[in-house]
Amino acid sequence: MPLTVVGSIAYDSVRTPFGERERMLGGAAVHFALAARFFDEVRVVGPVGADFGEDDLEVMRARGVDVSDVERIAGGRTFFWRGEYGWDLNTRETLDTQLGVFERFDPKLSERSRASDVLFLANIQPSLQQRVRAQLPDARFVALDSMNLWIEIAREELVRAIRGADCLILNDAELRQLTGMPNLLSAAREVLAWGPSGQTPRGPRVIVAKQGEYGSALVTRDRFFALPAYPLENVIDPTGAGDTFAGGLVGYIAANTPVGGAPRAQASGAERPEQVADTNAVQLDDELLRTAMAYATVLASFNVEEFGTERVCRLTREEIDARLRELASMTSFSSAAETAPAGSASPAA
């Protein structure tokens, strides 16, 4: 199913202990699209300024991303972000954020973008996320990402935006900040209880907590799943890892959900799908979500190997699938509890 993404299209200046780049192509929607395009047709919505290079648009276009809803604002400045990482690449300092053309952006999506069944509201002002959501009232699966800045300055709007989404993807620290709950599981459960907003029939039903180099966790009303990050010795720049992760997750879900609403056939032993009353909604069975988490993990691992979009731009589907197989073998184990006779696990006296 084609998917539409709205979010920052940016120039990023980044410094890590391993080097720096000035005004490289970045932005949440860009990182997302360059990952999701491995799975499905992606349409990007958002404004750029007069300073945005045609060659940067071509980076996406050449990889099959539909950029016809990227609006160039005459005389405007492209979103700009400057950040710095220390030796702990899990934490970063934002040194500058300039919204530029996003400050007054009024999204008017084309017929094509509005026809998408899947919508990703990438990190940007929550009011803008809501306005885009309102233009796709029949979307079958809506995921949303955000960050500490919006929790701090626009929390109420963000909560409304989250209530219009099926899936919230957030850093674990931000999930705690958003809910005021110190425990990840209780924080996720809190969001799952928020319910639908006035204009939308469903509320959040999947929470994905990103945990940087430690991996990610997925919480639904009755299930929990977690994966470690793919282990890497050389991490150069984590910028965009979260959006690339989201691109793998949402792209895989979009590509593997049948058009027409019927739930996927269940593999034997698979858990029951995350059912919702709304028949238009995508039915999310456990197997689909777990594989989507694995692809997300793999895509994110490539992103951090080089600066900005550099590595993902050169990536191939073969490389992705090879790493997915490695991740599968690294994370599989047999449950001793199933094979060992009862009581044999107790330590010898």
Options 44-52, 228-236, 240-248, 337-345: segment touching ligand AMP (CB under 6 A): 240-248
Q: Is 287 exposed, middle or buried (0-12, 13-18, 19+ CB in 10 A)?
A: middle
Decide: is 241 part of the binding site for ligand AMP (CB under 6 A). Answer: yes
* Torsional sign, CA 193, 194, 197, 203: negative
- Of 138 and 152, the one with the shorter C-beta distance to ligand AMP is 152
Work out how close the CB of 49 gets to ligand AMP at its nearest, in angstroms, rounded to a whole number. Answer: 14
- Of 252 and 283, the one with the shorter C-beta distance to ligand AMP is 252
How many C-beta neighbours within 10 Å does residue 304 have? Answer: 25
Decide: is 56 part of the binding site for ligand AMP (CB under 6 A). Answer: no
Work out how close the CB of 268 gets to ligand AMP at its nearest, in angstroms, rounded to a whole number. Answer: 37
Cα distance between residue 159 and residue 75, in whole Å: 33
Q: What is the bridge-based pairing of β-strands 10-16 and 79-85? A: parallel
How many C-beta neighbours within 10 Å does residue 143 have? Answer: 25
Q: Which of residues 145-184 bind ligand AMP (CB under 6 A)?
A: 147, 149
Cα distance between residue 36 and residue 346, in whole Å: 47
Q: What is the DSSP string of 2-70?
A: -EEEES--EEEEEEETTEEEEEEEE-HHHHHHHHHTTTS-EEEEEEE-TTS-HHHHHHHHTTT-EEEEE
Decide: is 243 part of the binding site for ligand AMP (CB under 6 A). Answer: yes
Options 66-74, 128-136, 233-241, 325-333: segment touching ligand AMP (CB under 6 A): 233-241
Site string for ligand AMP, 12-31 (x = CB under 6 A): x-------------xxx---
Looking up tokens 């994110």 gives 300
Work out how close the CB of 31 gets to ligand AMP at its nearest, in angstroms, rounded to a whole number. Answer: 6
Site string for ligand AMP, 200-229 (x = CB under 6 A): ------------------------------
Decide: is 124 part of the binding site for ligand AMP (CB under 6 A). Answer: yes
Site size for ligand AMP (CB under 6 A): 17
Work out how close the CB of 164 gets to ligand AMP at its nearest, in angstroms, rounded to a whole number. Answer: 18
Assign 243 to helix, strand or coil. helix
Binder of ligand AMP out of 49, 240, 248, 251 (CB under 6 A)? 240
Binder of ligand AMP out of 16, 113, 130, 239 (CB under 6 A)? 239
Please give the single-letter amino acid code of residue 181. Answer: M
Q: Which residues bind ligand AMP (CB under 6 A)?
A: 8, 10, 12, 26-28, 81, 97, 123-124, 147, 149, 239-243
